[in-house]
Copies of this chain bind each other. A is one copy, B any other.
Amino acid sequence: MNASKPHVIVVGCGFGGLEAVRALSKAEVEITLIDRTNHHLFQPLLYQVATAGLSAPAVSAPIRHTLRREMKRGNLTILQAEVTDIDAAMRRVTLDGRDKLAYDHLIVASGATHSYFGHDEWAAHAPGLKTLADAFSIRARVIGAFERAERTLDATAREAWMTFVVIGAGPTGVEMAGTMTEIAQHTLPMEFRRIDSRRTRVVLLEGSERVLGSFVPQLSERAREQLLKLGVDVRTGSKVTGIDAEGVTYETREGETVQAHRLPSRTVIWAAGVAGSALGRSLAATAGATLDRAGRVVVQPDLSLPGHPEISVIGDLAAALSHGRGEPKPVPGVSPGAKQMGRSVAANLRRRLHGEPTQAFRYIDYGSLATVGRKAAVVDLTVPAIGAIRFWGLFAWLFWLFAHIYFLIGFRNRLTVMIDWAWAYWTYERNARVVAEPPSAAVMPAPALAPPTLPRVEPQAEDAESISTPS
């Protein structure tokens, strides 16, 4: 340890952590970046891995490779470990429950996990989509569901295998529902013998009255139209009350009446709620941090903790406010927010090192994009001096495509994604459909088949019967 340089620990190499490290690289500090995995993930495109449209290397990059220039400056150490505890009094973090690492400054950017609104038992039946492992798991389930449907002889079971439910109509849910329909309608139809994949049902359940609730109502309506046109069964005002291995129960309200519904499905995907990572609780315990309802850490205007100016929290873990003109506004949990927070805390840290006061964080909202499916997206841009520009449809989709490619990390990733998408657009093929292992019994419970009743077959019989009857 260079005793004259302060030691900054950055926890998490998502958008926030990565920007913070890059912005601090030239400062007179010693940096240790700690991430649970070996890669930086471009989360906005994660749903494409889950729906087999892109492979993992297209949307992720090894951290060490991404930060190779910063490594050359000689003040950066990268460790793959999980920070399991933060001791704000001792100014130490614990790695993997074992090693301890001391810091002078701490930037916590460990992100969010899923919230099942108090029903953690739903997680086993309705996986969420936050990490590459999640994406692989969902992809295996979706592909496996079609394979199971092909093998199942029981019509009711087959229908459950061909019914996919996405819970939560935010951008992730909408993107998943749209692409799953595209797979069923365009990619798979000629590939199965017994099932007609075009008869697949994709149901999008949303508790509120709108899809893409964080967008303006006009764009919510456009997105709903696009989803319906693609063939997605959109059910707003539908609040999930139960999820099990066989399907989902939800309620709807008509005035005073509450109606319960049951939707049999073998593949349920959760895109409805997020919560701050477990480190939030550690900060609450040792640094007196306050958590909001979603488990996010309440921070000062300069993103530091009250009473602990040496600790900052950014990204999805932070319940941050943007201080610009007018009332402070909550910062949305999107990638530009995390990136801007990363740069802001780095700048404030440099100010602190020079004895200058820190500045409040101001989020500059350039707009929002969400895609619904092929040639369908909604775009809401904030252009200085002009205001809001909103558009949808084909042009919005092209804009969405190029924006996502532009913001991807690394030339190699951009090239891969452009080729993969060009191919997929031209051919409707899904490039990343290969599933390494058939889903285990824990992931995909055995289909409820009728017990096989095999007529006795004499070895010399001319017409050997079989259970399977190709149509």
A interface residues with partner B (beta carbon < 8 Å) = 1-3, 7, 30, 32, 36-39, 55-57, 60-62, 64-65, 68, 71-72, 76-82, 89-92, 95-96, 98-104, 131-133, 135-136, 143-144, 147, 150-151, 188, 190-194, 412, 415-416, 419, 423, 429, 431-438, 446, 449, 452, 454, 457, 459, 463-470
Contact = CB atoms under 8 A, between A and B. Distances in A.
A191 B68 contact: yes
Contacts of A56: 55, 432, 434, 436
B190 A71 contact: yes
Contact of A100 (B71, B132, B454): B454
Nearest to A460: B91
Chain multiplicity (copies): 2
A463 B95 CA distance: 21
A5 B77 CA distance: 67
Given A191-B68, A434-B57, A91 B1 contact: no
B90 A193 contact: no
B102 A465 contact: yes
Given A39-B434, A39-B435, A99-B452, 11 more contacts: A32-B468, A38-B143, A38-B434, A38-B435, A56-B434, A57-B433, A71-B190, A80-B144, A99-B449, A104-B464, A132-B437
22 contacts: A1-B469, A30-B470, A36-B438, A57-B431, A64-B192, A65-B191, A71-B190, A71-B193, A77-B470, A79-B151, A82-B438, A89-B459, A91-B459, A92-B466, A96-B446, A99-B467, A100-B466, A102-B454, A102-B466, A103-B464, A103-B466, A132-B437
